[in-house]
Amino acid sequence: MKTAINEFENNILNADDFIKPETVKEEILSKYPPKVARKKSKQIIVNRKGAENKHPEIQANVRTIPGIISQRGCCYAGCKGVVMGPTRDIINLTHGPIGCGFYSWLTRRNQTDPSTTPDGDNYMPYCFSTDMQEREIIFGGEKKLKEAIQEAYDIFKPKMISVFSTCPVGLIGDDVHAVTKEMEEKLGITIFGFSCEGYKGVSQSAGHHVANNGLFKHVIGLDNTVQEGDYKVNLLGEYNIGGDAFEIERILKKCGITIISTFSGNSSVDFFANSHTADLNLIMCYRSINYVAEMMEKKYGIPWFKINFLSAEGMSKSLRKIAQYYGDQKLIDRVEEVIAEEMPAVMKAQNEVKPRLKGKLAMMFVGGSRAHHYQEMFREMGMISFSAGYEFAHRDDYEGRQVLPNLKVDADSRNIEELTVKKDPERYNPRISEKELEEMEKNGIKLKDYEGMMNEMPDGTIVIDDISQFETETLINTYRPAVFCAGIKEKYTIQKSGIPMKQLHSYDTGGPYAGYRGAINFYHEIDRMVNSKVWEHLKAPWEKSPELAAKYAFE
């Protein structure tokens, strides 16, 4: 389908006939009741740099207005599904009604390869739940929880069990921590609980934080074995959706970089337990796991920096940053060799798709990091990320970490425990000195920093936090983008309006999209979707050229 947008070239945002985003914002707000409009106006931002070259402030991580259809999930989803879910050899037991366990079971395409750990344990194909009934809601569910832990232990003999609290558990006051402690003593394996009741916080983001705290308190640091390897890193916030982590592992290995642990794609709790022995933490998804990075730095002295392995350019930049960090000529040379080996195939694919995609618009509304990470990928195809937003990100994900000191801590955030972390008396070992750190900053290697999404988007783009169904439809109908990226809840309404829709959560059935081979996959996928003939057939033949036309008598 030929859309108005297709006529615009790269500089579309400055074209005279391009509908001004300010107009669209006004149009959206005019449909809301005044109170809602006031709140929403702070979440719909036209990204233009104003005075001091700063973009406007955005409101994020606040409650969704009741009645508005949002894309968000719950705290339990963030803790159990997102952070802990991809770990194959821990039994993740949902304490709650069966629906919570069932609908968080295998719905996220996080892949795993059990052959990479000697015991090959993999409980991910199973769904563990206490299947709470009215009985437990009235009389308490602790007894049933104890029995469930015992049963799981008897059948599987796992090395670790964790328990996730769902809404009713918090409401009736079951003490999962007392139960897990008692069972830990009884069974002699690591067992711990999460207070990740669905209603905590304002979205799944709260659950990430709860999961980070649990991992840090109960798992990280359990095994002090020092492994072989010249450059030992942890990969934080990579969940192996559609096999992304496999491709990243391939490339890092080729460069001679050892991954001690990935949190938590293709992971084992054995890797987590040992992760404090790494030299460096690389953060892929900042939103979901920055807490672990910060706490590991305080306790063990491991520095962190942000990388992005999505897009070929991102991959190369990140590899170079890692090599520069170590400053070892051997690694610097090896990284260049690997990039030179991988890039010809990437360029071939880019050159193939670019003429068909150049200047087209993409919109992406996903989670808390991908709406940013995929922009480079679209740029490589010549496309423009005109509108983007997160479901549950915080202001630092949009505007960068410099806003952190000004963040308001509201009642919903206060609900989530902040751990007090101190230097470990024996194991604290700062990997780099203050002087080296200064030296690195001078050379442009920024540690402990994230610039956020808005800084990397052109002027005149629209950024929307916690986008609603109505706002999505308005954007689509106004701009007719070449592709819209979001999740399953949005997929079919978008496709029905004639716009190709790519899921950036599950990747539909595709992937990997990370690394070099992933980028090639993604270019071809977008090209296939956007240039498919199917969109031409959206109107039935009789709608396009009616042979018979009728009028109502009153017309």
Catalytic residue annotation: 74, 77, 108, 208
Stretch that binds ligand CFM, among 98-106, 307-315, 364-372, 508-516 (CB under 6 A): 364-372
| 63/431 with CB nearer ligand CFM | 63
Minimal distance in Å, beta carbon 271 to ligand CFM? 18
Residue 189 backbone dihedrals phi, psi, to 5 degrees: -120, 170
Minimal distance in Å, beta carbon 525 to ligand CFM? 16
| 281/369 with CB nearer ligand CFM | 369
Minimal distance in Å, beta carbon 475 to ligand CFM? 18
Of positions 334, 370, 502, 517, contacts ligand CFM by CB under 6 A = 370
- Closest listed residue to residue 388, CA positions, set 431, 318, 452: 452
- DSSP, collapsed to helix, strand or coil, labels residue 339 as helix
Report whether 160 contacts 91 (CB < 8 A): yes
Written as one letter, the residue type at 53 is: N
Q: Does 522 bind ligand CFM (CB under 6 A)?
A: no
User: Restricting to residues 475-514, which ones interact with ligand CFM according to CB under 6 A?
Assistant: 505
User: Restricting to residues 74-103, which ones interact with ligand CFM according to CB under 6 A?
Assistant: 78, 82
| 208/480 with CB nearer ligand CFM | 208
Q: Cα–Cα distance between 260 and 272 in angstroms, integer?
A: 8
Q: Does 291 bind ligand CFM (CB under 6 A)?
A: no
- Closest listed residue to residue 389, CA positions, set 407, 362, 360, 410: 362
Report whether 189 contacts 159 (CB < 8 A): yes
> Which DSSP string do the residues of 343-382 spell out, in sequence order?
HHHHHHHHHHHHHHHTT-EEEEE-TTTHHHHHHHHHHHTT
| 280/284 with CB nearer ligand CFM | 284
Please identify which residue in the block is written with the tokens 């990204």. 47
Q: Cα–Cα distance between 76 and 307 in angstroms, integer?
A: 27
Q: Does 124 bind ligand CFM (CB under 6 A)?
A: no
Report whether 148 contacts 130 (CB < 8 A): yes
Minimal distance in Å, beta carbon 399 to ligand CFM? 16
| 241/381 with CB nearer ligand CFM | 241
Minimal distance in Å, beta carbon 64 to ligand CFM? 15
Q: Does 285 bind ligand CFM (CB under 6 A)?
A: yes
Minimal distance in Å, beta carbon 194 to ligand CFM? 15
Q: What is the CB neighbour count within 10 angstroms for residue 555?
A: 5
Q: Does 108 bind ligand CFM (CB under 6 A)?
A: yes
Count of positions on this chain that bind ligand CFM (CB under 6 A): 16
Q: Does 204 bind ligand CFM (CB under 6 A)?
A: yes
| 175/294 with CB nearer ligand CFM | 294
Calculate the CA dihedral of residues 85, 368, 394, 421 and round it to 10 degrees: 40
Residues sharing a CB contact under 8 Å with residue 294, sequence separation 6 or more, in sequence order = 304
- DSSP, collapsed to helix, strand or coil, labels residue 163 as strand
Binding residues for ligand CFM, rule: CB under 6 A, are: 78, 82, 108, 204, 237, 239, 241, 285, 287-288, 366-370, 505
